[in-house]
Amino acid sequence: MFYFLVFIIILVFLLVYLNIEKMHAPILIFILIAYFIAILSIILYLSKSTYYYNLLKNYFYLPDFLWKKFFFLNINKFWLIRIMNFSSLLIIPLSLHFSFTFFQIMPVWLRRILKYSAWISIGIQFVFYDPQVSIWFYHFMYPKFLTTNGYAQVTNHIYSLTKSINCIFILISVGILLKAFWDATRLYYIRSKYICLFLSFGVLSIAYLFFISSIPCIYLNISKISNTYMYRPLYLKGSIMFYRYFPYCLVLAIALLLYASYHISKLNKQMALKKLSISKEISASETTSKIFCHYIKNEILALQAQIEMLSSTEKDRIVLDDLKKRCNLLYTRIDELHHNTRTGELHMEECSIQDIINNALAPYYNQSSKHELITYMPQSPVTACVDPHYMIEAIDNILQNAVEAMDTPEVNIKQLSVCLKTLNDWIIIEISDTGIGISSKNLNNIFTPFYSSHPYSKHWGIGLSLTYKIIRAHEGNIEVDSELGKGTIAKILLPLLKSKLTS
């Protein structure tokens, strides 16, 4: 346990060096300092009596030379008790303040009530449990109002009450961080930092509940008749095994707390500057687009070669040149896709979903003669962390299928609708058409690679398969509902990126 204190000092200096942005950095520093002083003052209190020598040796691994220094340290025990009380009590409001910086939704009035209640509570306790106040209180109550046993019963009831209040405040802090994790942006990259934050702070709170929560208390046995007092022993909970292994858990918890706080602060700063960027692999992309990109590139080169071999008039040459330009453009686009597929990475950044949808719809705005295009999008920006290249491709694949489903003589009303909305923590992109629809038998296989209900000369069955993988790689989901003769509705669900992570 003693070496755990040394580790706390190192982490505090590291926090100062990193200069973490936002309010939770200095609060975290003060919390660690409070834990450090509380544990150190407990060790000092115990070191003042030879009775606790074996306990210090077995529980705290305190070296003999330090025990001797602490034993002979010239410090007033009343002041040592005050330091011990103040540092242990300070953990309570600081823990509340720290948890509030990660939770934005709580009403301001409730936040203020909790903060003021915590500060008032520890202020009252600090005064009541002061050794000098304890002496005055005993002299005032005995024997006029209370007997010795009556005084002991009253102080024990007060101690149980104050200890319960302190533990409740700590549990509220843990609960607030749990709620912050629950409400965090659904991106796993961000949520993983929140779960590290919650678990590490939870372990630190367990250290308070099982080790520090017994402080403050009445430390004196007072005699009014002889006008003397004796110091009470400080009882520690838990077995020797608990104290031997728990410091290692604390070290890991504080390291995770530092890691999570730093990264959440960094993410928040990036979001404030509109520079959030996350890179991650897209799984199994090789089984779909890579193989066919290579195949299509070869086919395009073969078409270009055949076009150049054709003999034609001047009028036909213009058409052939236009075909060659289209082939070159298509080859460049496919080659870019092939290159990105080889890397197998999404380069996700904060993007406006309205811009993504408009870019995907750009080729379809000029096809009003073929179908009616209807869009519903909110005025306020809806943002998500996406790879714009891949996301446009995913939406375009769905749009192509929707347009092709309406490009048949039996479809009279040809209407393509794109709706953007948000629900709780999710963005919903709804693409619907009035095409021929999909049978329930085929609907179960539309995301299967290489599956297509059309001839392979027109479709290779990779569009929706790749779309599914892209959406899943963005930690979203895609749902398709369809009915033969009535049309199809495709819903893309993406995690909503909130404006900021901490308050």
- Where along the chain do its domains lie? 2-273, 278-495
Q: Give me the residues paired with residue 223 across strands.
A: 228
Please give the single-letter amino acid code of residue 137. Answer: F
Considering only the top CATH level, what class is 278-495? alpha beta
More confident residue, 480 or 346: 480
415 close to 433: Cβ distance less than 8 angstroms: yes
Above pLDDT 70, what percent of the chain? 74
Mean pLDDT is lowest, of 20-24, 43-47, 203-207, 219-223, for 20-24
CA pair distance 6, 11, nearest whole angstrom: 9
458 close to 468: Cβ distance less than 8 angstroms: no
In this structure, the chain runs to a length of 503
In this predicted structure, what is the pLDDT of residue 182? 79
87 — pLDDT class (breaks 50, 70, 90): very high
Residue 225 pLDDT exceeds 50: yes
227 close to 143: Cβ distance less than 8 angstroms: no
CA pair distance 337, 396, nearest whole angstrom: 14
In this predicted structure, what is the pLDDT of residue 18? 53
Provide the 3-class DSSP secondary structure of residue 74.
coil
What's the Rg (C-alpha) of the chain?
A: 34
90 — pLDDT class (breaks 50, 70, 90): very high
Q: Which residues of 294-321 are buried (b: 16+ CB within 10 A; e: fewer)?
A: eebbeebeebeeeeeeeeeeeeeeeeee
Phi and psi at 459, nearest 5°, equal -135, 140
Cβ neighbours, 10 Å, residue 151: 18
Q: Give me the residues paired with residue 432 across strands.
A: 417, 489
Identify the sign of the CA torsion 246, 247, 252, 253: positive
Residue 286 DSSP label: G
Helix (H) or strand (E) holding 72: none
Provide the 3-class DSSP secondary structure of residue 351.
strand
- Average pLDDT score over residue span 335-343: 57
Q: Both tokens of residue 17? A: 């060096």
Burial class (CB in 10 A: 0-12, 13-18, 19+), 359: middle
Helix (H) or strand (E) holding 277: strand 277-281
Residue 440 pLDDT exceeds 80: no
Mean pLDDT is lowest, of 43-57, 155-169, 324-338, 369-383, for 324-338
As a whole number, the mean pLDDT across the chain is: 78
* CA within 13 Å, CB half, 368: 3
Q: In terms of Cα–Cα distance, which of 356, 344, 419, 423 is closest to 384?
A: 356
pLDDT per residue over 231-259, tens digit each? 887 776 666 666 677 777 777 777 787 77
- Average pLDDT score over residue span 311-338: 70
pLDDT per residue over 22-68, tens digit each? 546 678 778 888 888 888 888 888 888 777 777 677 666 677 777 77
Q: In terms of Cα–Cα distance, which of 326, 332, 344 is closest to 289?
A: 344
417 — pLDDT class (breaks 50, 70, 90): very high
Cis bond before residue 388 (omega within 30° of 0):
no
Provide the 3-class DSSP secondary structure of residue 429.
strand
CA 125 from chain center: how many Å? Answer: 35
Q: Which residues of 204-224 are buried (b: 16+ CB within 10 A; e: fewer)?
A: bbbbbbebbbbbbbbbbebee
CA pair distance 334, 201, nearest whole angstrom: 49
- Average pLDDT score over residue span 431-451: 75
pLDDT per residue over 112-167, tens digit each? 999 999 999 999 999 999 999 999 988 888 888 888 889 889 999 999 999 999 99
Residue 289 pLDDT exceeds 70: no
CA pair distance 434, 416, nearest whole angstrom: 7
DSSP string, 200-254: HHHHHHHHIIIIITT-S---EEEETTTTEEEEPP----S-HHHHHHHHHHHHHHH
E strands present in 316-469: 345-352, 372-376, 383-386, 415-423, 426-433
In this predicted structure, what is the pLDDT of residue 116? 94
